[in-house]
Structure 1
Amino acid sequence: MNHDPAPTKVDPLKAEQAVALDRDGYLLLRGAVPAAWRDALRAAFDSGVGTGDQWAAPRGAGWRHALVDLDPTVQRTCRLPLLLAAAAQMLGGPFFLSQVEGREPLPGGGHQPLHRDGAGMKAVAALVFLDAYGPDNGATRVVPRHLDSGAPDETLSLITAGEAGDILVFDADLPHGATCNRSGARRRSLLLSFMPEGVRATVEASRAVRNVRMDTGEVFIPCER
């Protein structure tokens, strides 16, 4: 007998959001996280911060990292309908939540060169901002898809800015990278990834290295517009 849960259906994005996402490769969802959840998310981040030896693989210098994937409010946030709709728009078929962790650039740290993630896996990434963010405290910059010429070009990158509760969702192969936290102000975020169901076996094989503790068995199915 098959005891797997029924797939979760995902409603489509609004047409204008879908057009913008297809054109740019990213979408900034303003105020997507309910205000009533934000303190709980910040508390989950802070309580999940530990020492470097809590991670199976070394984490990058200049960052604070938090284990958060078992927190119920974090899990609810990863399933916000608008976030799932954006992921469904990019992936176009069954997908799953593969990972979520907390990241924060330390004062004077955080800068990353423009880079691409998820080569060959058609991954979707999302950053849930738990504090106000901008060019002074390590906000993420992206090169819009319609400007992407192949080689990462800093002159084409745009630095995101906004408030706690915003979510930046993007094609993980889009050139992107955090900026330096020059001001030292807090810029906590949740970083999560959605992957196509077809690569589940490959992704799940690295659970231990990525410190994934949550159940990743739920399958999300995009509904037709």
Structure 2
Amino acid sequence: MGPHEQLQHDGYLLLRQAIPADWLPGLREAFDAGITSHWPVPRGWDWRHALVDDNAQMLAVCRLPQLLAAAGVLIGERFFLSQVEGREPVGGGGYQRLHRDLSKQRPGDTVGALAFLDDFGPENGATRLVPASHRPSAQEAARIEHDESLAIQISGQAGDILVFDVDLLHAASLNPSGARRRSLLINYAAEVLYDAHQQTAALRQVRMDTSARFEPGDFVLATA
């Protein structure tokens, strides 16, 4: 199975050390400077949220060729960068049940990515996911929706990026140690969703220019 087929089958890919190491100090500084509680829609008490989409280096992360390549494989058609914001679970918080964010119009039209600015693992609430759970039958969906026995918990280092189909079962975990786990939550969407994106952009406090378009064929997914 080639890298494209493997990604489509699994529904996710962890890009190891995708962010240049010398970017990380500046990204962490921008994240911390962007932390705010002022959002149009209330946010959970157990997460820090950061406005970062006006930062050029943050946007450069969103346009890393390997990240765009993986997003293009999953979406499979012309797409755009729709959002990036910072998220971090506080100590004793961050737990989510396994869930799907759900595509907007058809399976595969939306992709998420978590770009990690700190090392991540069980001790600071790293993401859990169920591989290959993004195209279930109705019967399978009902059976595995909250079946934690099928989940794996990812771990890695600052600079890694997790790319995933939003229909994949996934969830953040409890941050028992309180150690920092800053990440960028990035979203990409098929071009046909642009009008709908525009209608809700203000509620999500999207300030960046989202007019750029990307073609899946413009980027090559690395084989290793």
- Give TM-score, length-normalised by structure 1: 0.89
Percent identical residues = 53
1:175 is aligned to 2:169:
yes
| Mapped partners of 2:24, 2:2: distance in 1 | 27
In the alignment, residue 134 of structure 1 is paired with which amino acid?
A: G
| Mapped partners of 2:200, 2:25: distance in 1 | 31
Answer with 118-127 or 61-70: which moved more.
118-127
1:145 is aligned to 2:132:
yes
Q: Give the equivalent residue in structure 1 for 2:64.
A: 80
How many Å apart are 1:146 and its aligned residue? Answer: 5.7
How many Å apart are 1:18 and its aligned residue? Answer: 1.6
Q: Give the equivalent residue in structure 1 for 2:122.
A: 135
| Mapped partners of 2:55, 2:117: distance in 1 | 15
Q: Give the equivalent residue in structure 2 for 1:223.
A: 217
Of 21, 28, 42, 1:35 maps to 21
Instruction: Give the total of aligned pairs.
Output: 209
| Mapped partners of 1:194, 1:126: distance in 2 | 8
- Is the contact made by 2:117 and 2:181 (CA closer than 8 Å) also made in structure 1? yes
After superposition, what is the alpha-carbon deviation per residue over 1:164-205, rounded to whole angstroms, capped at 9, x for unaligned? 000000000101000000011000000010000001101110
SS of the residue aligned with 1:205? helix
Give the aligned CA root-mean-square deviation in angstroms: 1.5
After superposition, what is the alpha-carbon deviation per residue over 1:6-32, rounded to whole angstroms, capped at 9, x for unaligned? xxxxxxxxx843232112100000000
Q: Which runs of 5+ in 1 are unaligned?
A: 1-14
In the alignment, residue 138 of structure 1 is paired with which amino acid?
A: G
After superposition, what is the alpha-carbon deviation per residue over 1:98-150, rounded to whole angstroms, capped at 9, x for unaligned? 00000000000000001111333421000000000001101001100169631
